[in-house]
A and B are shown apart, each in its own frame.
Chain A
Amino acid sequence: MRKRLAPYLLILPGGLWLAVFFVVPMVILITLTLQSGNYEEGFKLTWRWANFSDALTLYHTQLVRSLLFALIVTALALVLAYPMAYWIAFYGGARKSSYLFLLLLPFFVSFVIRTAAWKFILTDEGILLGPLKHAHLLPQNFHLLATPYAVIGGLTYNFLPFMVLPLYVALERIDHDLVEAANDLYANRAQSFRRVILPLSVPGVFAGILLTFVPTAADFVNASILGGTNTTMIGSIIQTEYLTFNDYPIASALSFIVMAALLIGVFAYARALGTEEVLEVSGA
């Protein structure tokens, strides 16, 4: 009897914490989306479905922009991360974990500081643009900050590990015997890559895409530090609605929309791939 209770007792404290501070808030988020009122007088559940349409009318630009940026960043991250992950997994040898360590080292520094450092690097007349302008390689009024390029660059930088790690895990698992077999069967380099390695790495690709797209779409720190008024992302809007305007129903409606959009994407993914593979490679 005791033995059968053991797992439940073990997950009870942590589970309770998660239930109260994660699951319940999610439910409350959903109920808030249908409330109305204002901060002074309080909010009441009035089943105001119009909150959703209001939210969309006001902020669909930022919403679409966030999803678009996330898409671009994810594609960029995939292209940048794959060759790295491939080389370390197949040719890293005994120093594989050292390479990974070096890759992940920068992420011991706070996200905010790293992004602020990029702002510093990319300022007009800063250490990157200054010399280039002096050498007349760039027009004098060229600027990177407050453009979508800076934001996308920052996002790609910050979320690269989320793409590299799942790719690496999937690539590292590929049995080298399979590649050798392909070579024995007269496949050349490109062929064995295209027909053996690439397909086997697909779970990693999917996991990487998932783990990169979701947080990128919801991020707003990059946009607010590196961007300008024409690059505002939906996360910023949500934060402002909550903390500055105290318009909790609209803010919750926006959060819900973002969550729903991402969830739909995730489920379509998991369907296409099979949840176990995705969970396995993403480390859960």
Chain B
Amino acid sequence: MPAPASATYPAAGRRRRWTTFILPTYTWAMILYLMAPIGVMILFGFNNTKGKLNVRWQGFTLTWYRDLFRIPDLTGALKNSLTIALLSTLIATVLGTMIGLALGRSKFRGRGLTDLVLFANIAAPELVLGSALLGLLITVQVPRGYGTILIAHVMFNIAFVAVTVRARMAGFDFTLEEAAQDLGANPWTTFRKVTLPLIFPGILAGALLAFVLSIDDYIITSFVAGQTLTFPLWVYGATRIGVPPQVNVMGTLIFLGGVVLAVLNAVFARRRTL
């Protein structure tokens, strides 16, 4: 945008230097800095490394893509992570959407309390969430494993979905629901044919968030997993000895999967207007 003449607006020259050069360069530099470890991860998934340590570049290879499932523990852990993420996302999305709907739509007596619990759940450090849940499991003497991991993941995801759905409902036009009911629709049909399609982008966004959070979770999972391994847990253990390149490949694939999902989500959201 053309700046006014320097004579009448002396600061214009300085302003242009900051906003058209310094700040944008800084922002791009930060973006690159944030991407750096990802780039390294992807790159070294192609490293033709001989030993246990994947530290020096030794040539390009696709071996690790071919031998992706060579390490049984790792494959098992990845499978656990994927299935837990899918299941917990499903459950948390249903439960969370219901809460988000209730909060976005009506004023009711328990509303403040619900808000508080959701906020506490999101703001509380994972450390506290995980250790508290572990305390419960110990007291009730429930063995830790796949099931408890699933329970924990649903627990921390409900709030994220609820908040996302509720935010999406901010611009919701309730007269549409009323119109449907005036035309004879019962509450379930109204929900299915009017409300749901309109808030679906919000539900999808919440589900995506829940999925990513679940597949990446380390801290809470470490407390309630017992002997079961998930992908982050396995990788954490491996950082002491040496992370095999298969981890890089899996990380790359998960990353690409997440990107595809996010792009789809954005495209989908743009199609609908509230």
Contacts and interface: CB of A to CB of B under 8 A. Distances in A.
Is chain B found bound to chain A in the same assembly?
Answer: yes
Interface of A: 2, 4, 6-8, 10-11, 13-15, 17-18, 21-26, 28-29, 32, 80, 83-84, 86-88, 90-91, 97, 99, 101-103, 105-114, 116-121, 123, 126-127, 157, 160, 188-189, 210-211, 214-215, 217-221, 225, 235, 238-239, 242-243, 248, 251-252, 255, 258-259, 262, 266, 279, 282-284
Contacts of B218: 110-112, 221
B127 A110 contact: no
Contacts of B7: none
Given A8-B110, A284-B122, A91 B127 contact: no
A214 B106 CA distance: 31
A-B residue pairs, 3 tightest by C-beta:
A218-B125, A108-B258, A117-B37
Interface residues on B, range: 35 or more
What's the dominant secondary structure at chain A's contact region?
Answer: helix
A14 B30 CA distance: 39
A242 B40 contact: no
Given A108-B212, A109-B216, A225-B236, 12 more contacts: A14-B99, A21-B136, A22-B132, A28-B135, A28-B139, A84-B27, A90-B19, A105-B35, A105-B38, A105-B259, A255-B132, A284-B163
Given A14-B95, A108-B212, A157 B34 contact: yes
B9 to A, nearest CB: 9
Contacts of A10: 98-99, 101-102
A202 to B, nearest CB: 19
B219 interface: yes
Interface in B239-270: 239, 243, 247, 251, 254-255, 258-259, 262, 266
Of A21, A123, A211, the most chain B CB neighbours within 10 A belong to A21
Contacts of B262: 101, 108
A17 B158 contact: yes
Interface of B: 10-11, 14-15, 18-19, 23-24, 26-27, 30-31, 33-38, 40-41, 44, 54-55, 94-96, 98-99, 101-103, 105-106, 108, 110-111, 114-115, 117-129, 131-136, 138-139, 151-152, 154-155, 158-159, 162-163, 167, 187, 212, 215-216, 218-219, 222-223, 231-232, 235-236, 239, 243, 247, 251, 254-255, 258-259, 262, 266
B34 A106 contact: yes
Contacts of A189: 11, 14-15, 18
A113 B138 contact: no
A10 B191 CA distance: 13
B163 A21 contact: no
Contacts of B10: 188
A87 B101 contact: no
A120 B36 contact: no
B37 A235 contact: no
Contact of A7 (B40, B41, B105): B105
B163 to A, nearest CB: 6
